[in-house]
Homo-oligomer: A and B are copies of this chain.
Amino acid sequence: MAITIKDVARESGVNISTVSRALNNGYGVNPQTRELVLNVANRLNYRPNRVARGLVTGRSHSFALIVSDIRNPFFAEVARGAADAARSDKCDLVLCNSDLDPIRQMEYVKSVLEKRVDGILMNSVAALNPEEQRQLAECGVPIVLLNRSASNRAFSTVTADNEAGGVLAAQHLLKLGHRHIAHLTGPRQHGNMTDRTRGFVQTLLAAPEPVNPVVLYGAFNYEGCRDLTNKLLDHHPEITAIFAANDVMAFGTVRAAMDRGLRIPDDLSLIGFDNIEFSSVIHPPLTTIHQPKYEMGYAAVEMLMGLAKEKNNRTPESRVLGVELIERQSCAERH
């Protein structure tokens, strides 16, 4: 059917091994025959079969990206970074959506392992039981975890400096003179969230005039935080500033505030986390903590490619990337 290395060997009168060497810029092949082979290959429109190649080399030049949902703008950005990094080394990315369902997650892992990917980038193993985690750690291919503090030493990680982000948010609010501050976040015990929360709360408590924030736990999404904000303001009308654990939650706060006739930032200061694209589009443009999402994806597969090359001595690495306060228009001085 398709034309193979044999065809170009026959056509150029050499052995297939010579063709292979010529094509792979290999040494030990006469420049003239090399050029000849290249010409023939070109003329026949020869396309090497990478799966045959992979079978013998044992490397597939592809990586798996297992995220909870690519529709989450955060992961889309990470995915783009990951794909670009892969491309820079002629690798590619297979996309898997787990919805954080442990079953799906393990299914995908099994599937991509059978396809012999060279590494896996996944965003969470929290839902997995210890047995599954052990299984993962010993699966033979490098795995890097996204935005999980390196709790499990078996895996490599790349993460944003979530704690520093919390600190930044606290400092900003403090500087603006706020004294009645709340923090709205997701379910308790969510790994990287606690880092943000810790940085935020501790900074507030350690201030010259310490403030003890009220922190509420809810769902991680728009509606959840809309409800959470209403609950908060019902019980704590004195609050003048809110730190939401991510931008989408902050949007929920914006909506709740609007419904209550509160103006942002005049009546209520608000700060988010992530700096997703729409945080600058919404009204008012959201002050937030920027997470280097693209860079995280990029760094993660760079790390994977490095690990894939050293089959022996594969010690997990960890990398934490800096965050940044993006001042827009959702925060004001307390009046």
Contact = CB atoms under 8 A, between A and B. Distances in A.
Nearest to A69: B80
A115 B51 contact: yes
A281 B251 contact: yes
A206 interface: no
A76 B95 CA distance: 11
Contacts of A282: 281-283
A113 interface: yes
| Number of copies of this chain that the complex holds | 2
A291 to B, nearest CB: 14
Interface string A107-151: 000111111100000000000000000000000100000000000
B51 A80 contact: no
B83 A95 contact: yes
Nearest to A72: B76
Contacts of A278: 278, 281
Contact of A49 (B111, B114, B222): B114
A225 to B, nearest CB: 11
Interface stretch (A86-94, A227-235, A267-275): A86-94
B95 A65 contact: yes
A92 B115 contact: yes
A191 interface: no
A73 B71 CA distance: 7
A63 to B, nearest CB: 10
Contacts of A251: 281
Which of A77, A111, A222, A254 neighbours the largest number of chain B CB atoms within 10 Å of its CB? Answer: A111
Contact of A47 (B49, B58, B110, B222): B110
A239 to B, nearest CB: 21
Contacts of A83: 70, 95-97
A184 to B, nearest CB: 16
A260 interface: no
B48 A51 contact: no
A240 interface: no
Contact of A255 (B51, B80, B115, B281): B281
A214 interface: no
B111 A2 contact: no
Interface string A51-62: 110110010101
A50 interface: yes
Contact of A84 (B49, B97, B222, B277): B97
Shortest beta-carbon contacts, A-B, top 7: A95-B95, A50-B114, A71-B76, A76-B76, A92-B94, A50-B115, A93-B95
24 contacts: A1-B58, A1-B140, A50-B116, A51-B60, A51-B115, A52-B55, A55-B55, A62-B115, A65-B95, A70-B76, A70-B80, A76-B76, A83-B95, A84-B97, A90-B111, A92-B115, A93-B94, A93-B95, A94-B94, A94-B95, A222-B281, A255-B283, A278-B281, A282-B282
Given A51-B55, A70-B79, A92-B95, 20 more contacts: A47-B114, A48-B114, A49-B116, A50-B115, A51-B60, A51-B116, A52-B55, A70-B70, A71-B77, A80-B97, A83-B96, A83-B97, A92-B94, A93-B95, A94-B95, A222-B281, A251-B281, A255-B281, A278-B281, A281-B282
